[in-house]
Amino acid sequence: MLWRIFIFTVCSMFLTASADVKPKTKAGIDTLFHLRRMFYVEDLDDDLCVEWDDIYQVASRADINNDGIYEFNEMLADPDMNEASRDDFNVFEVNGDGKVDMDDVHLKFYDILSASGNDVDIKEYLRFMSTREPDRGELMDIKSFVNAEKNFLVSDQNDNGLLSPYEYKAEFRFADADHDGFLNSNETDAFRPTRHVGQFCDDVATTGCSLNDVEALFDGADTDNSGKLSVEEYIIYFGKLMTAT
């Protein structure tokens, strides 16, 4: 327990510096996808939160020569970090001394530390970490990005990272509570791909949205014409719909 007390004592020393960091509400979509990958790399125990233990293990693993300091080339030597950029390294290098040591890691974790606890979920992670990365790609609302990802993960029943037409139609059948083949204004809220979008077809107030209507959304999202939706295709398409409403 003493080392935990020490860690958070060190973190509290940098309260003034960290208070200046204001989390973003929007960021470049390519930046968000990159940071999303980094989040899952750092979430070592797969509990959908990044905790101090996760950060400490990632930093320790990157220190190949065990000198208490790691450099950019050591970061790239980690198989999970081999796509990291200099910007990612600079996220850790926060006290301006040109190297990354545990003090830097303390600061980095404190920057994204939740006000309500000692772990960080993906929305908090993206909002804070995007302040240290340049915006790459079209700007997207971070809340919409996260909501779209959550909807995809639930809809992807076999967890293979691809949404099939069968899985997509299963969401329609689930939302169609009266089984009439249409989604009325109440049922559209239960259709997961458009849960945060609102009304997405012209007939919702009359006959309701048909399966053809929702299939048109699937086809619009399937930019590579593979017949399935990747998480990237899903987030880009449905996340933008959420942002537009």
- Which of 119, 136, 153 lies at the terminal end of a domain, its last residue? 136
Lowest mean pLDDT segment, chosen from 47-61, 134-148, 202-216, 230-244: 202-216
Do 161 and 181 belong to one domain?
A: yes
For residues 79 and 38, membership in a common domain is answered with yes
Domain boundaries, position 100: 2-14+25-136
The angle at the Cα of 122, spanning 170 to 163, to the nearest 5 degrees, equals 20
Shared domain check, 119 and 60: yes
Asked whether residue 147 falls in the same domain as residue 204, the answer is yes
Percent of the chain residues topping a pLDDT of 90: 38
Residue finishing a domain among 92, 108, 136: 136
Q: pLDDT tens across 178-230, in order?
A: 999 988 877 888 888 877 665 567 665 566 788 888 899 999 999 999 999 99
Q: For the beta carbon of residue 206, count every other beta carbon within 10 angstroms.
A: 8
Q: Are residues 213 and 229 in the same domain?
A: yes
* The overall pTM is greater than 0.85: no
Residue 105 and residue 214 in one domain = no
Residue 203 belongs to some domain of the structure: yes
Number of domains in the chain: 2
Q: Using only C-alpha atoms, what is the Rg of the chain? A: 21
- pLDDT tens digits, residue range 10-57? 333 333 334 456 889 999 999 999 999 989 988 999 999 888 888 778
Residues 122 and 8 in one domain: yes
With respect to residue 220, please indicate whether it lies within any of the assigned structural domains. Answer: yes
Please check whether residue 20 lies inside any domain of the structure: no
